[in-house]
Structure 1
């Protein structure tokens, strides 16, 4: 079968549905790939590269006339006129908001498979273009923020003085939000993030950001992977938190987009309370915008000097890598459709992924698809969270902190007395060794606890060196006739060996993530 990759018809689009690398993968699946001449020019992929990968470079008529046509955006009527009846179109289609377009595909006898309708289940993650686009958008959002922000993201200490790091607040910890906060943190900014789903708090903190706690404003996740709508009381509490966080932020990145529609998170009043020169990057501008003042597709500056960026083409501003990732999603779809790797696509509608993507087939509209059975187990009931008065909550928190500090002080005092008594009754040789041991523990604790998450892998290399010293010392003592020394040396050698080999193994895996694929 032939597989066509035409140039995008959307005005200003710089993406292409395949890179030379993914074309090679499609050829290995048995397809005869036809790439329209110049289709990859804006993504810096030349026709010669496509030809070298095994594709045939031809005109638009040949690309659109293939058995299967893959595109980034849903092609218009003029392009559909070039497609054959019975052919398959694979692209993003915004199916929930495009009933007329789907009906037109059915009328033309074209099988439509919407890439942005891939079910949100584990085995379909490699085909999820929404996650791909969101990941790129989150990264690009930070680049746009850095471009518009009048300062540096990381704090600086120079002979001329010091500057504080930028304060970045990210709303939403989905794929785009996590990508944004991870990028901002890597640039040295102080990042805070909030999501209505409490279970993502650990993911936020693992990326080096601070999870903003607002228990009464958090909600469970619905069965389709999106957060459920907040109650009226939860919306009020969330708005208060957004106002507080945005007022002290230098950069606010909003990502709240549910099923293509933006959720209002930043009001005009909140913008008025922000600092002059601060920046809002609205990733939900394509769905209307999370900020009340966002103008989709444009960059505006408010009367109080706040910059609001509502670009809707962030992924297209990074065409080379976005096209590569998008093309990989398509390769994974074609692998699913080509079980025999013989260049023959098989549309098995009993497969929930294939059925979920298919919006039109054989003259019939097949949208919406039947619900996907994610789990047979019933969801756990959600307990109502009582709303606590903020003043009372603060008082209770202060009392709890004071009690905890008192317990810690008493425990430390008792431990110190016991240590002093043990040292006083021990020989001098033991005291000197014990002193070195305590200093190593204290120094090690403060060194490791003060290191950023991003530096844990380099730190592991240093701890491997320290463990090597421990191992050498333990081996030297293994011949001792003192049973206590012998046992302690054996334990030290065993633990140090585990730490060394385990450390090298983890470091090797981490470095493998940054190696170029063959």
Structure 2
């Protein structure tokens, strides 16, 4: 069986869906691994490194491939090269461009969207959202520190004391927790908020202050956050508006699956912040937690710097690619047998949870009855 790793087609995507270590594992199982020349360049993985691991490096790797792995959804041109019945596992943006998913279904591809990985214990090692968000949260703080015109830690000098920066993290998921930890390591005074009351213990365990309005807990059974009621939104907004006035750096990470990003920092709130303050909006790809943020731009508004970098995880491709590759390898372990044959148990909860296209149709429950 042939497993293909193509070069990512989306502009600016530097990650790759395999590492030399995962390639070795695939070859050991008896798979023929084909890696497109230059696929690992953005992650500083050379063609020679893939060759040494047992892969065949060349062009047109998608032709006759039985299994295809990717970081992002393949382009239309790449989809047309795939054979009917091929298995694709990648980040497919299932809440975004539906026509792209329909193109995969029309091609006869059995497609798995890794973003839909169920939040169950045995699926943790396959969770691309967690592995990539962890590094994105770290990078958000590093970028904020680079733009901030002052130091993060308190410093005692003969000429006076440099006060520590105040960092406020909004949204305490994987990215938010890493942002808290990173800001603390850099010496900042950190506070955080989330609409899920259960995150308070996690915030405090990292040495940060938890800021929470008197609202209904918005945690879903899957651990994600759901949208607040209008009344609770107003309470949370009032609390945030008062808190951000004294903050030097705000990191926003709030996303609701399948919905536009909620607005957390309004224009009016931004204008109450001190000149020189920095906002990093990790939700800019879904419209942003701040309406002033712009995709892949750094905006200056009345002395406040607003960073809207897309794909922060891709900025650390040397780390995020091996993690993403391992997530995919663990997922493939569910369907690739020890002899290299392919056997998919469509009743498996992980398989059912991530399967979006099969036998020429979109099959995930999220698509049923929707157009």
TM-score after normalising by structure 2: 0.95
For the 8 Å contact 1:3–1:67, the answer to whether it is kept is yes
Q: CA RMSD in A?
A: 1.6
Q: Distance in 1 between matches of 2:271 and 2:327?
A: 42
Specify every segment of 5 or more residues in structure 2 that has no aligned partner in the other structure, as ranges.
none
Deviations 1:445-469, CA, capped at 9 Å, x for gaps:
xxxxxxxxxxxxxxxxxxxxxxxxx
Paired position in structure 1 for 2:290: 291
Q: Between Structure 1 and Structure 2, whose CA radius of gyration is higher?
A: 1
SS of 1:217's equivalent? coil
Moved more, 48-57 or 95-104: 95-104
Task: Tell me the equivalent position of 1:44.
Answer: 44
* Post-superposition offset of 1:66: 1.4
Looking at structure 2, the residues matched to 70 and 233 of structure 1 have their Cα atoms a distance apart, in angstroms, of 44
Is the 8 Å Cα contact of residues 95 and 367 (structure 1) preserved in structure 2?
A: no
Q: Secondary structure at the match of 2:161?
A: strand
Find the residue that maps to 1:196 and give its secondary structure: coil
Indicate which of 347, 352, 358 corresponds to 1:350: 347
Q: How many angstroms apart in 1 are the aligned matches of 2:295 and 2:44?
A: 27
**In the TM superposition, what is the alpha-carbon distance from 1:110 to its structure 2 partner?**
1.0
Equivalent residues in 2 for 1:295-310 (5 A)?
Answer: 295-302=294-301, 304-310=302-308
310, 313, 330: which is aligned to 1:312?
310
Partner of 1:409 in structure 2?
Answer: none
Cα deviation 1:217-257 (Å, max 9, x = unaligned): 35241223222221222111111111112110000000111
Tell me the matched-pair count.
Answer: 367
> Contact conserved, 1:356 with 1:370, CA < 8 A, in 2?
no
Kindly provide the CA deviation profile for residues 366-423 of structure 1, in whole angstroms up to 9, marking residues without a partner as x.
122699xxxxxxxxxxxxxxxxxxxxxxxxxxxxxxxxxxxxxxxxxxxxxxxxxxxx
- Say if 2:79 and 2:103, in contact at 8 Å, map to a contact too: no
- Shift in CA distance, 248/115, structure 1 to aligned 2, threshold 3 Å: same
Deviation of residue 150 (structure 1)?
Answer: 0.6
Query: Hey, what does 2:105 align to over in structure 1?
Result: 106
Deviations, residues 171-216 of structure 1 (Å, cap 9, x unaligned): 01011110111111111110000111111111111112111142x1
TM-score normalized with structure 1 length: 0.69
Which stretches of structure 1, 4 residues or more, deviate above 6 A after TM superposition?
none
Q: Could you say which structure has the higher helix fraction?
A: 1
1:6 and 1:64 in contact (8 A); partners too: no
Question: Residues 221-370 of structure 1 correspond to what in structure 2 (within 5 A)?
Answer: 221-260=219-258, 261-302=260-301, 304-338=302-336, 340-368=337-365
Q: Measure, in 2, the Cα distance between the counterparts of 1:43 and 1:346.
A: 31
Q: Give 2:118's aligned residue.
A: 119
Aligned to 2:34: 34
Unmatched segments (≥5 aa) in structure 1: 372-518
* Residue-by-residue CA offset, 1:275-311 (whole Å, 9 max, x unaligned): 0000000000010000121112211100x20000011
Distance in 2, matches of 1:166 and 1:154, equals 7
Counterparts of 2:209 and 2:338, CA distance in 1? 46
Contact kept, 8 Å, 2:194 with 2:212, in 1: the verdict is no
**What SS does the corresponding residue of 2:299 show, helix, strand or coil?**
strand
1:3 paired with 2:3, answer yes
Partner of 2:194: 195
